[in-house]
Structure 1
Amino acid sequence: MNNRQKIWILTINDNGNYGNRLQNYALQKVLQQYANVSTINAFGQESSALSFALKKTMRPLKKYLSFILSKHFNINLQRDRSFIDFTKRFVDDSQLALSISRGLSHKPSDDDVFVIGSDQVWNDRWVNDDMLKLRLGSYFPEGRIISYAASFGVSQVEDTSRAIFAEYLPRITSISVREDQGKELVSLLSGRDSEVVLDPTLMVSADDWRSIIPGDFVPADEQYVLTYFLGKPSSEQENTIQNYAREYGCRIRRMLDVDDPETYVAGPREFVELFSKARYVFTDSYHACCFSILFGKQFKVFNRAGVSASGNMNSRMQTLFRLFELDNMMDSDSQLSSIDYERVNHLLQVRRKESGQWLRNALSQVGVKD
């Protein structure tokens, strides 16, 4: 590792999203074998470092004030604190800020490198044109930028975004994406080739993930089914969950459900613990699938309400299942397939080696050595 060189990560800074916090931590961990690593705190229109600091102070305050008006104030507060504590402890994002109006808060060293990803950093539905340019590395020196597992999050970009992608994608020395659809978009928008790589969370071993869990969030020997839904399960899907829990004598723990406050308060560390100890997982979430695979859990993926199995929302799932040769994962809501983890674990090692080699080569092209 080069102790003098610095790698800066540009990703989405979301202190309320499990997948975002955990992929950010994971990418830092993966990159730390090459150099010192920090995450850039990127934001929108703020005009100064002072306003950025005020935003960091006021945003949670505003959220807390809104929670006061809610009957769920205490559990929301506890959950929010868990996210903030996780970022403070595990994600170094205090050294460099980046805004549209002011650019970088200070000039990095000439030999520093910038890694864009992972998560939906290139989703043009979520940001304006200026923020999209920022997330494509417009403030970074050409020849010092790569992307790792960047995601568009959409099957096609807006017509108004095409020129932006065409201008800034060619400035990135090496491009890797998270989904097959992303690879197609990179080619369409820039004529560039790109590599589909593993999400950063899958590049960290199960033992390393276990090393950050609290250990006492889940009572010893508790038998439970874990649900993690970004949409609302249909009645048929709920029946499947209930039937499995009854058959195996399991409690149902429901993440993101205020009606299960004991589970709802989980922060990112507790999220990892819940997946590591679950008997079975039901979900419609990409990162829930990743952590189920990491911990060798049998799991069922439901189509999110209003989204077909072939819809873009599930393109990330389709790529994940292709990489691990998992067929029929999103078929009948009542059918529970058994996953062959001997095969999946073998493929996990193969994909890690492939993704790691791509990253090593990409970093060497921008001046980072082992």
Structure 2
Amino acid sequence: MKVFVATFYKNNYGSALQAYALQSVLKELNTISMVIEEPKNNCSRAKQILRDIYYLIKPEKYYGFIKKTKRLLEQRFELGKIGKINNFVKKNIAIINYDEYIKQIADEKVIALAGSDQIWSIINSPISSFYTFDYIKNKNVKKISYAASIGVSNLSENQIKYYSETLKQFKVISLREKCAYEILNGFFQKSEVRCDVDPTLLLDKSIWRNLCSEPQLSEPYIFVYMLRPDDSLIEMARILAKKNHCKIVYIGQFNRKYRNVKTIKNAGIEDFLSYIYNAEYIITNSFHGTVFSILFNKKFVSVRIKTTSSRVENLLKSLNIQY
């Protein structure tokens, strides 16, 4: 059976690692699994500039103009890290061109799988049809999801109605967070709704260990990994470092510089895993930072992000880890 997966897989450690894990598990199930490359936006340089401007001024719930500008600049100029992540993807994940994928699903009996990560989040905009398969007309294509995340803990009545209409063609709706399952279960008469763990948790620790590069530092260190900047995590690391005579290493979406902190700007997937595996302590506000701290049996602190903490809370509670 062919399985075509629509998911996040580029530019980000967690996205690439969850896509790698999901495809690894699908291979173990003797399927032919391919991640779908999103259709390319073939536009002129002028149109791309206009899109960037619109992105910057468009209202967004959790990122203001300054943060979005910094994020855009990082994507444009800090290409070392992104290049290494995407090289990992090219080497380790089977990708299919969008046009070729469309040809293959036209009249074949296949599975279209909406993968993990926050592909179904409507925090800032409606879900892309790329992740809901609205465009698939072949009735022999079975639409399912695996551990898809909606990204938030609560939904309004209108949002629940939106999901119940948008996802009603799915045979199986697998969600990553228990709270999402509890909110949406019962609104789909013809679909199986379930809650499943992130695919990174389906692979044995040894598989992840084998992907790690050699230790990057010879001295003890505390590893800080942040998706959203939060100076309190660095201050927490300073207290812990002083007490335990450790260095501090920081990787984040925004390459901030902190006094007496080693900021890593160009770590690839293998280095990222190595920094976690070899750290004395982990301090993170990232879901996948928490996941790999658990997988590698590290001492860690997972700091709550108020608006989107449900995914970490659900994970820790399911493992009987205090939060």
Q: Which of the five TM-score ranges fits, normalised by the shorter chain?
A: 0.7 to 0.9
Residue 8 of structure 1 and its aligned partner are, at CA, apart by 1.0
Contact 2:250/2:263, CA 8 A, preserved across alignment: no
> For 1:162 and 1:135, how far apart are their aligned partners in 2?
17
List gaps (5 residues or longer) in structure 1.
330-370
Distance 2:160 2:192 in 1: 17
| Structure 2: distance between partners of 1:302 and 1:156 | 20
What is the CA deviation profile of residues 255-310 of structure 1, one whole-angstrom value per residue up to 9, with x for unaligned ones? 12343666221122211111111110001111111000000001012233xx2xxx
**What does the per-residue CA deviation read over 1:48-94, in whole Å, with 9 as the maximum and x for residues that have no partner?**
xxx39x99xx99xx9xxx99x979997x232122122112112222x
Q: 1:281 and 1:160, CA in 2 relative to 1: closer, same or farther beyond 3 A? A: same
Question: Does the CA contact (< 8 Å) of 2:212 and 2:271 recur in 1?
Answer: yes
SS at 1:322's partner residue? Answer: helix
Report the Cα distance in structure 1 between the residues aligned to 2:293 and 2:34, rounded to whole angstroms.
Answer: 28
**How far has the Cα of 1:170 moved from its partner?**
2.8
Are 2:23 and 2:34, in contact at CA under 8 Å, matched by a contact in 1?
A: yes
Structure-2 residue corresponding to 1:270: 271
- Map Cα deviations across residues 13-57 of structure 1 (whole Å, 9 max, x no partner): 4x222111111111111111121211011248x4xxxx39x99xx
Which one of 218, 225, 230 corresponds to residue 228 of structure 1?
Answer: 225
Q: In structure 2, what is the equivalent of residue 286 of structure 1?
A: 287
The counterpart of 1:149, out of the listed 147, 150, 161, is 147
Offset of 1:320 from its aligned partner? 0.3
Tell which deviates more after alignment, 263-272 or 133-142.
133-142
Deviations 1:162-205 (A, max 9, x none): 55532342321222111012102322643555222110111111
Q: 1:205 corresponds to which letter in structure 2?
A: D
Instruction: Report matched runs for 1:1-370 at 5 Å.
Output: 5-13=1-9, 15-34=10-29, 35-43=31-39, 46=41, 51=42, 76-93=78-95, 95-97=96-98, 105-108=102-105, 110-128=108-126, 131=128, 133-140=129-136, 141-142=138-139, 144-157=142-155, 162-187=160-185, 189-191=187-189, 193-215=192-214, 218-219=216-217, 221-235=218-232, 237-256=233-252, 257-259=255-257, 263-304=264-305, 307=306, 312-327=307-322, 329=323
Find runs of 4+ consecutive structure 1 residues off by over 6 angstroms: 69-74
2-side partners of 1:245 and 1:125: how far apart?
A: 36
Say if 1:186 and 1:104 are closer, same or farther in 2 by CA, change over 3 A. farther
**Kept after mapping to 1: 8 A contact 2:13/2:269:** yes
Tell me, yes or no, if the aligned pair for 1:96 and 1:106 is still in contact at 8 Å: no
The letter of the residue matching 1:207 is S
* CA RMSD, 1 decimal: 3.2
Please say which of residues 246-255 and 182-191 is displaced more in the overlay: 182-191
- With 149-158 and 29-38 compared, the bigger mean Cα shift is at 149-158
What is the percentage of aligned positions where both structures have the same residue? 25
Q: Match of 2:112, SS?
A: strand
Tell me the equivalent position of 2:63: none
* Equivalent position amino acid for 1:233 in 2: D
